Amino acid sequence: MSNLNQVVTFIRDQFNTNEFIPLHEPRFRGNERKYVLETIESTFVSSVGAYVDQFERMMETITETRKATAVVNGTSALQVALQLAGVQQGDEVITQALTFVATANAIVYNGAYPVFLDVDLDTMGLSPKAIADFLDLHGDLREDGCYNRLSGRRIAACVPMHTFGFPVHLDELMNVCEEWQIPVVEDAAESLGSSYHDKHTGAFGRLGVFSFNGNKTVTCGGGGAIVTNDEEFGLKAKHLTTTAKKPHPYEFYHDEVGYNFRMPNLNAALACAQLEQLEQFVERKRTLASDYASFFDGIGIKFRRELPSTKANYWLMCVELENKSVREEFLSFTNANKVMTRPIWQLMFRLPMYQHCFRDDQKNALFLEERIVNVPSSVI
């Protein structure tokens, strides 16, 4: 590509540095130090503390959901959310192959089988049409739920993932899943600050989950959250993720097998300070996205934009190149010049532990896998 020098120069100008430019690094510009020091001084640095409660209330406000539960990371959040939605050993869960491996792993942690269906080209997320086509061919709606005629297994949930913060076609997806009585659990790990028809991602399904990993728009090093509008689910999520311990002043009594998935108060303090800046972070990222769009349009490279009626947080910004060969040239040149770029994930069915899983033709996912590249997306 003759314009790769222009790409590197433009990105360096945006970030105002000749040093290495990472793909996405955190920004600590608010009360992070203050809140963390307060937590240390209080000695409540583990899983009990005021900031854990505050974090949960803030997530409820941001997502406009009734209950939020703080957990140790986004993968654990999805694992528990699927269990709450009714996923059991031997069930199947519809999801996308174009995703980070944690989406598939969380399904398997519940003893279930991923079913990989195609994505839409415009959202890069799970396609409602692909779900409808699969269920029309293989779905069997019974009194106790939807079954896969091919495998005989119950289809216990559907997990769309909002790729890079771009919302999937939620209205259509929710309608298909409602018709087939399949609960939706949103993997909103990448989409904090994104919305669909002015409603926050994660708030559409029976449950939604978020990640606060070190490379996310808002981070606390690790961390995750489960959100839901079902208060019983919210209470159960808190119970399961805190080792299923019954409240008591001093006795230790656990009434079922739970998980030690608690978010430490120290991490929650950092998360609260970051959440206070969420709106500012998203707006700055959206400004960078607009600048990228203008630049890449000018040199004939397609920059991925949000769709009408959606607001994307532009967690990771990306370009769509002509083919795999051009993608490799782009990746090689930019990384050699200390500008970190990254291809989209390898599709899940390419990984040895998921090669046996059902998948449809994956036409769109294969197209995107060969062409999508993430460019530096940190808050400026």
DSSP assignment letter at 126: B
Compute the half-sphere exposure of residue 83: CA atoms within 13 Å on the CB side of its CA: 22
CB 164 within 8 Å of CB 377: no
Assessment of whether the complete model's pTM goes beyond 0.95 = yes
Domain 32-276 belongs to what topology?
Aspartate Aminotransferase; domain 2 (3.40.640)
pLDDT at 96: 98
Domain with CATH 3.40.640.10 in the chain: 32-276
pLDDT at 1: 67
How far, in Å, CA of 25 to CA of 215, rounded? 6
Domain 4-26+278-349+358-375 belongs to what topology?
Aspartate Aminotransferase, domain 1 (3.90.1150)
Angle at 79 between CA 76 and CA 80, to 5 degrees: 90
**Which residues contact residue 84 at a Cβ distance below 8 angstroms, ignoring those fewer than 6 apart?**
206, 207, 226, 228, 233, 236, 237, 240
pLDDT at 57: 98
Structure confidence by residue, pLDDT tens digits, 82-97: 999 999 999 999 999 9
Query: Which residues of the chain have a pLDDT value below 50?
Result: none
Residue 2 CA from chain centroid, whole number: 35
Structure confidence by residue, pLDDT tens digits, 218-243: 999 999 999 999 999 999 999 999 99
Q: Are strands 185-187 and 207-211 parallel, antiparallel or unpaired?
A: parallel
pLDDT at 121: 98
Structure confidence by residue, pLDDT tens digits, 114-132: 999 999 999 999 999 999 9
Residue at 242: amino acid letter? T
Q: Which residues pair with 226 in a beta bridge?
A: 69, 209
Domain with CATH 3.90.1150.10 in the chain: 4-26+278-349+358-375
Nearest CA to 206 out of 229, 223, 239 is that of 229
54 torsion bin: left (phi>0), alpha (psi -120 to 50), beta (else): alpha
Tokens of 147: 């079954």
